[in-house]
Every structure is written in C-alpha cells, then in structure tokens.
Structure 1
Amino acid sequence: MGARTRTYPNLAQVQDRDTQRTLRLVYDLIRDAEETIGLQTESLLNLANRITAVEPRVSSLESPQTFATGAGLAPQFVVRGIASDLVLTSGSIPRFKKIGDLLPAATRIRLSHSVAQSISTATTTVLTWDTEVYDPKLLHDTVAPTLITIATLGTYVGGVYVGWDANNVNSRFLEIQKNSTDALVRDRRVGTGAAEMHLVLPDTQLVVGDTLRVRAFQDSGGPLDIKVANGSPVFWLRKIA
C-alpha cells in the first residue's frame, strides 16, 4: 500500500508558522484517532472551520494544567490520548499565540526573601524564603518555607546567591543541602571576599519527595544580615531532563 497523503484544510488562512504547526498536530491527532480507535467526528473539512482553541490536560504524574482556551466556548470534541486530552471548542480558526501555549508548565522555581535575614555568629542557619518569583508546580510550601520539595523524578540544575553585610572578620559559609543531611554543593571563604556568594548546583538526579534547602554560617563575632539588594537572596531550581 502506498504512503497516504494528508491534507490540512484552511492552513493558508493562518499566517503564523507556530499556529500552522499546531493545526497540523491537531489534524493528525484526529485522523490517527479515527483510523486507530474508530473515533467518530465530523469531517475534517467541517471541523477545521470550527476549531478555535485547544485545552491540554496533563493526566500523568503532573498536576492538571489548562492553556489557550476559548473564553465562553463550550467543549465540542474531546480527543483522548495516553498522556493528555485535547478539548476542541467550537468557533472559527484557532487563535493560538505560539506552540508553547500547548505545553505543560515547566518544572522550575525561583525563590527570594522580602526582608534581610540575620545570621547569628557561629551558628548554622537555614535560610527562609517568603517570595515565590515563580513556582508553577508548587514545589515551595509556605508551611515549610525553607524547603523546595521535588514532585517529579528527573535531573535538575539550580543555584543560590546571597549578599552579606560588609565585614572582614573570619569566614562565611553557604551550602545547598538535600534531605536535610547531604551537602550537594558548598562554599567557605574569608570575610574579605565574601560580600557576595554564589553557589551553582550542577546537574543532579532527584526523586519524588527529595527536599533542598540552603544553610548559611558566619563567625564574625556578631550577627550579620543577608541583605535584600542587587538580587539577593535568590534560590532557584529547574528540571532539565
């Protein structure tokens, strides 16, 4: 049997290339569903004039997400797949902004703190985070504001940056710790070179339930603040695989 030729109705009416690619994906999903599981829909030619938005719902391990839905439009068709459901709503030509609108939110988090944190001398202190710059997967729990809790198995990169009050006495210490026991990356330096400290967490395999936190230490002889200035403090993490 020869290769089948697929056509894509009304694609010429859409100028944006990302939207064209999205339409091709939708058409192919519908055709595959018709051919493999006998899904009954209108003809593609008629359906193409009625699609206006796509609403993916992630039904695997991640939390449900909704994107690019048509306001006030009721679902017309549902195409169900193993990893997601596509809800096609009645209307006209799709109004997708970009292909990324159809993807689930990335697993990433960036935390900060709105006020200076005082670090007592000769005392290791776990830093607290009260500001979620972004956290689409809800990895930061305000009940346990020191922690990032992993919700998806994978490989992650991250980092932390803090600015200390100026003081040249003795040393400063900063550490990213896993599960409140294992040091993943740390830095210790004399006070003269520790006004700003950066840690980079290289690609690290983490499993569901792992937690990350940041610990700080100084022994200047008195309390020192971790300042809120020039981007300090920040604690971030991103899943890359």
Structure 2
Amino acid sequence: MIKIYLKYLIFLTFLHCSFSFGIGNGSDEEEFTRSEILSILALANSNRNIILGSTRIFKSTVTSSINNTPLAISFDTSVYDTNNIFNLNDPTKVTINRSGLYYIQGQLSYSTNGTGIRKANLVLNDLSVIGSTALPAASGDLTNISTESTYRLNVGDFLRLQGFQSSGGNLDIVVNSGYSQILSVTKLSE
C-alpha cells in the first residue's frame, strides 16, 4: 500500500464557486511549474458556472386565490430580463428561446390563515411540475414559500409559477417586500 502524502494543497476561490485539490504521493514526486499552475487556474475558471442570462419578474399587486384551485400567477413587472423570455402580453408564463440548463425559483407569500396547506409549483408546458414545495399554513403570520429546480429546457418550453391553498375560502397572495410573487430564471449553460 502506498502512503499518500499531500505534496501541494492549493485553494482556489472564484465568484460562486470554491474548490481545492492536492496531488503527489511518496513514490512519485510531482512538482508544478508556473505554466502548469496557470493552466490549472484557467481550466478551473472555465468549468465554473457562468450565468448566460437571467430573468426576474414579479407581481406588484395582491392576487386572490380560490380554495383548492391551482392558480398561475400573472406577472406585471420585469426587474430584468436578459434572457428576453417574458412578455407582458402573456403575463402568466415565460417562454424559453434558447435551449440549455436553467435554475428556476418561485416565491409566494400567503395571507395569515392557519388552516390547510400552501403550495408553490413550477409548471413546465402546463404538463409537468418540475419544482414544488408544500407547507402547512403558518398560524398568526404570513406563510412564505419558495420552490426551485435546475432543469434542462428547450426552445419553446414555457414555465408558470402556480400557487395553491386549502384554507377553506379565498386567500390573498400578498406583495411582501420583494419576496412574494416572484419568478427568477437563470440560464447556467448550453
């Protein structure tokens, strides 16, 4: 058995990622030249996630939801849309125009009511739920809920943020300081 010794330990820190590695063992001494270290740095930098486009939309007014009825949120404001996927003429969805791997996050905040459950769903093409979070209703406070997914999407796919509640009656999805009724879509890679 060969004892492995860490000859070199290099820590590299980049925006949104950090990692470390070490090589070398007792019998095979390895040394890095300056150009090898620069090559490793370049390779490490090229493999990190690079944001290729980002969209963040929200609704600036209260949405009333009906008991036990899924509801697609109708957005009215774009914070930014470098993906160019949101259209105010079709405000309940974003339509993908470049295939790739995406990180999607939706956030909702329901009015105070301690009965039932609250859900936030990410719905793909009105067929599949690709992200879902369900929570029991908070008693005496808003119920804040978020859901997320990393998913490979194709040109023409569309996403909706859907709310659902079972309070026994109508319940508002409120505007909550930039937290509620928000959909974010970030392209991570081709």
Q: TM-score of the superposition, structure 1-length normalised?
A: 0.54
The residue aligned with 1:216 is: 163
Shift of 1:122: 1.6
Report what 1:113 is aligned to: 59
* Structure-2 residue corresponding to 1:147: 93
Ranges in structure 2 where 5+ consecutive residues have no aligned partner: 1-50
Name the amino acid aligned to 2:172. D
Shift of 1:116: 0.6
> 1:234 is aligned with what amino acid?
I
**TM-score, scaled to structure 2:** 0.68
> Are residues 1:157 and 2:91 paired?
no
Moved over 4 A (4+): none
Within 2, Cα distance between the matches of 1:136 and 1:237? 10
The structure with the greater share of residues assigned to strand is 2
Q: Give the AA of the match of 1:167.
A: N
Which string of whole-angstrom CA distances, capped at 9 and with x for unpartnered residues, describes residues 37-70 of structure 1? xxxxxxxxxxxxxxxxxxxxxxxxxxxxxxxxxx
Q: Shift of residue 118 of structure 1?
A: 0.5
Shift of 1:219: 1.3
What secondary structure sits across from 1:169 in the alignment?
Answer: coil
Question: Contact 2:102–2:186 at 8 Å: present in 1 too?
Answer: yes
Partner of 1:167: 113
Query: Unmatched 5+ residue regions in structure 1?
Result: 1-104
Cα shift at 1:190: 1.3
Structure 1 CA distance, aligned partners of 2:93 and 2:60? Answer: 16
Deviations 1:95-134 (A, max 9, x none): xxxxxxxxxx942100001101010112111111110000
- Greater relative contact order, per chain length (Cα 8 Å cut-off, separation 6+): 2
Find the structure with the greater CA-based Rg: 1
Match of 1:225 in 2: 172
Identity %: 26
Per-residue deviation, 1:230: 2.3
Q: Provide the secondary structure at the position in 2 that maps to 1:192.
A: coil
Report the number of matched residues: 136
